[in-house]
Amino acid sequence: MALSDDTVGAIRAMILDGRLRAGDKLPIERQLAAELGVSRGTLREAVRSLTMIGVLDTRQGDGTYVTSLEPRLLLEAMSFVVDLHQDASVLDLFEVRRILEPAAAAMATRRVTDQDVDALNALLAEVGRDTSVEDLVAHDVKFHGFINELSRNSYLSSILDSLSSSTLRARIWRGLTEQNSVARTLAEHQAIVDAMAAGDVDLVRSCVVVHISGVERWLEKAGATELAGQTA
């Protein structure tokens, strides 16, 4: 296992120093194994590991290539892990969102245009107090995804998209069980957009923290263990 880990590190170094670039085909197995000073079996283990996390792409009958290395592709492995643990650690997921999303929204506020604000307001106009819980949560995902993209940080927005999709069930359950959750969500979304339009970075951060903390507090009150059992 140590040899395989070292080989993963060696291939990683080749990508970082530019000897291998996105889209490049790896040398044939025999040649690469000799270059790295490892057996072909060890090389295969390393390639499998890097394929699993989206760094390499093995094509049957063609060879192994470095992927595009796009953030969304590289973060798919993290998304899978998050999905596996979402019931057991949903409060932890919200805690991470509460830390990262205000930062993303603050970055977005510094870069937002009038057209972006118009688009966010148009998005808000698509829902109202009579909107179903399911449609509201779909809107919530779209709303936060839009703001995260405005941060212009593809790694951060990809991480947040993964976390957001993994807390869907908790948000739906809150909407079904908590009074006035629809009106509260819409009001909080509008406050975020208004603060962004005003260019008030500190207020945007505060509004996002309040928005995410509301679901977090509800989860603590309802009991994360009970929620996991009811939504499994």
At 194-213, the pLDDT tens digits run 999 999 999 999 999 999 88
Over residues 69-125, the pLDDT tens digits come to: 776 555 555 454 444 444 556 777 788 888 999 999 999 999 999 999 999 999 999
Over residues 109-123, the pLDDT tens digits come to: 999 999 999 999 999
Predicted confidence (pLDDT) at residue 173 exceeds the cutoff of 90:
no
- What is the DSSP code (8-state) at residue 74? H
Q: Which helix (H) or strand (E) holds 58?
A: strand 56-59
Burial class (CB in 10 A: 0-12, 13-18, 19+), 62: exposed
Over residues 22-40, the pLDDT tens digits come to: 889 999 999 999 999 999 9
Complete domains list, the chain, with CATH? 2-69 (1.10.10.10), 74-231 (1.20.120.530)
| Confidence grade of residue 128 (pLDDT, cut at 50, 70, 90) | confident
CB atoms within 10 A of CB 23: 11
The angle formed by the CA atoms of residues 28, 35 and 43, to the nearest 5 degrees, is 60
Higher pLDDT, 57 or 165: 57
Higher pLDDT, 148 or 80: 148
Task: Write down the pLDDT at residue 175.
Answer: 59
